[in-house]
Amino acid sequence: MELISLDEIVTNTKQPRQTFYETSLEELAQSIKERGVLEPIVVRPKDDKYEIVMGERRFRASRLAGLDQIPAVVRDMNDEDAAADALLENFQREDLNPIDRAKAIEALLGFMTWDKCAKTLGVSESTLRRHLDLLELPEAVQRELIESFNSVSGSCFSEAHARVLKSMNSDPAIQARMVQKIKDENLSAAETQRILEAIREVPAKTEAFLRVPLRVTEEILKQIGKAQKKSKPFKAQTAKQHLQALEKVANQLSDVIDERLIEYMKLEEMNQVLSTCATAFSELEGFCNKVRMALRKDDHGFKEVYIHCPLCGRIELVGSLRCAVCWTVLRRCLDCGLYDETYQRCSVSEDYVYLSEAESPQETSRSFNCSDYKPKFEPRPGR
């Protein structure tokens, strides 16, 4: 070990660490001023000078601290050993950014086999390839990763994000916007992956996905998925399940609709809720019209006549025969305008229908599917 003049030392242009942060160097320089260089650097003789093998940060900080000399271990080393030692010293350090590390590995593989390089660094070949994958990223993304690695402001752009963005190498413009979106919205790598998947699934909505929050992206995909599902062949055996689901949703909707809510809503919120309800109403109205057309198409004798269930009060179409809630027979002679309650008979057929049957009909009763049934009043849904 010798004390060597700083003027006699030159840096290694191929050394692993290519990025030096001023704040970090100044902190190290202050420490050197107070306590000196505690660990000597390693150099090798080269062209009448000494080339740094390990310790360039200490060398730079010593200059900042105003030193003339620095303790150094002088070793005779060839290019391969010098490169290996330099990389090995930096490889396990947490403050070596991923791009510098990858470039150093790439340089080492210039004169080492994959197997020897992996053994020298104490890692697997798959780990080496994983590091080198980062060099396939565009320079703009690499610079962002370097800058964010030691960012004082704590940038959320990480190596994991960079690896996710690698799948978009064919479109640098989208990559750049995604980098900014990651920082603006503090997205995780998994969330970033989800947005890129959305872009690949629905390229036409790329601009929307880049602008809106992830939750809105998910909603857009959900709506697109619904449309695609509707375009597929419908399975007739699931119609009953769909009807049950529709009944459930309708009941839930009825529970949440309360006009008193308007008193607590802001102007913007009222506009939004009206838009939402209008959209739902439009879809529901379109569906109802198609059901009406289907009922009229085959001449089922369809009449859009609404009646009250005599037991639970639910409003049903007369053609439903039974109440969907309590399963009560809907057509009662007692509610029919053609029934003479005094003489307990039908004024059309002139058949006797006793009051007990008129009040509580069964499927065997005359009124169950009577084509002449004429309710005394015709309630409409919502009335």
Catalytic residues: 56
What's the CA gap between 34 and 104, in Å, rounded?
A: 33
What's the CA gap between 126 and 104, in Å, rounded?
A: 16
What's the CA gap between 294 and 231, in Å, rounded?
A: 19
Q: Tell me the two tokens of residue 318.
A: 């007369």
Residues with Cβ within 8 Å of residue 135, at least 6 apart in sequence: 99, 102, 103, 106, 142
Q: Tell me the two tokens of residue 213.
A: 């929050």
**Buried b / exposed e along 11-49 (16+ C-beta atoms within 10 A):** ebebbbbeeeeeeebeebbeebeeeebeebbbbbeeeee
3-class DSSP assignment, residue 372: coil
Question: 202: closest CA among 222, 185, 230?
Answer: 222
Q: What is the DSSP string of 72-118?
A: EEE----HHHHHHHHHHHHHT-TTS-HHHHHHHHHHHTTSS-HHHHH
What's the CA gap between 380 and 316, in Å, rounded?
A: 9
What's the CA gap between 122 and 105, in Å, rounded?
A: 12
Q: With beta carbons less than 8 A apart as the criterion, state whether 143 and 135 touch.
A: no
Strands 49-54 and 9-10: parallel
At 290, which amino acid appears?
K
Question: 101: closest CA among 110, 111, 88, 113?
Answer: 88
3-class DSSP assignment, residue 375: strand
Q: With beta carbons less than 8 A apart as the criterion, state whether 83 and 105 touch.
A: no
CA–chain centroid gap for 19, Å, is: 34
What's the CA gap between 365 and 149, in Å, rounded?
A: 82
Q: Tell me the two tokens of residue 41.
A: 């650097």
